[in-house]
């Protein structure tokens, strides 16, 4: 996709945003086109713009109260107030259990707090709701690395890269893990 094609697509997308407000984020009909374009993006800048568009949709639950909690939770995460952030994201998943990004954010905080099994459980929920969630798949790889489960980490990173071929750092992570695992097998 050229930059000109992307800008035309973005203008159409903005029109859809006004006419068709977001549903439960991962159910948003605009995501299919975004993921198709992401899979075909040759230019890393195009991929970054598409990724950003996907994240913008994923962060919108369709409920202003949930979106306000999401902003509050992200702010707490940014300020490294992880216990507070986890509690906020916990409220989100209780109130909006079909909102994948609530689960993903709580998974991230749980990872940061060293609760790896809790993080895996939340990632599983995220992926069940949005199988293309490259952020959750990549996060799963990081959790497995923290647990010393390199083969499982490699699988998770490969799944993330299959969805988002230009996901920063992922191809390098895969190469490093493949080399490490190959060295063990010799």
* pTM of the full structure: 0.85
Q: What mean pLDDT, rounded, does the chain reach?
A: 89
**Rounded-to-integer distance, Cα 13 and Cα 177, Å:** 38
First to last CA, the chain: 42
Q: Tens digit of pLDDT for each residue in 39-64?
A: 999 999 999 999 999 999 999 999 99
Domain residue limits, the chain: 64-185
Indicate if the pLDDT at residue 152 is higher than 70.
yes
Q: Tens digit of pLDDT for each residue in 86-122?
A: 999 999 999 999 999 999 999 999 999 999 999 999 9
Structure tokens at 71: 């902003």
Sign of the torsion angle spanned by Cα atoms 165, 55, 69, 64: negative
Q: Tens digit of pLDDT for each residue in 154-183?
A: 999 999 999 999 999 999 999 999 999 998
Nearest to 149 by CA among 119, 122, 113: 119
Sign of the torsion angle spanned by Cα atoms 100, 169, 159, 80: negative
Indicate if the pLDDT at residue 17 is higher than 80.
no
CB 60 within 8 A of CB 69: no
Separation in Å, CA 169 to CA 147, 178, 181, 184: 20, 14, 18, 23
- CATH architecture under which domain 64-185 falls: Alpha Horseshoe (1.25)
The pLDDT, as a whole number, for residue 183 is: 81
């Amino acid at each position: 996709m050229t930059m000109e094609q992307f800008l035309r697509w973005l203008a159409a997308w903005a029109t859809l945003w006004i006419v068709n407000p977001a549903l439960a984020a991962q159910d948003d009909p605009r995501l299919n086109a975004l993921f198709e374009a992401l899979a075909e993006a040759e230019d890393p800048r195009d991929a970054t713009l598409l990724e950003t568009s996907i994240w913008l949709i994923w962060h919108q639950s369709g409920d202003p109260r949930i979106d306000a909690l999401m902003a509050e939770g992200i702010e707490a995460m940014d300020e490294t107030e992880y216990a507070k952030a986890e509690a906020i994201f916990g409220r989100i998943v209780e109130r909006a259990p079909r909102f994948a990004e609530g689960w993903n954010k709580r998974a991230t905080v749980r990872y940061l707090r060293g609760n790896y099994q809790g993080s895996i459980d939340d990632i599983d929920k995220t992926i069940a709701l949005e199988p293309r969630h490259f952020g959750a798949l990549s996060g799963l790889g990081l959790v497995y690395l923290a647990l010393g489960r390199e083969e499982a980490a490699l699988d998770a990173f490969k799944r993330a890269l299959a969805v988002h071929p230009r996901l920063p750092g992922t191809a390098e992570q895969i190469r490093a893990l493949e080399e490490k695992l190959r060295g063990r097998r010799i």
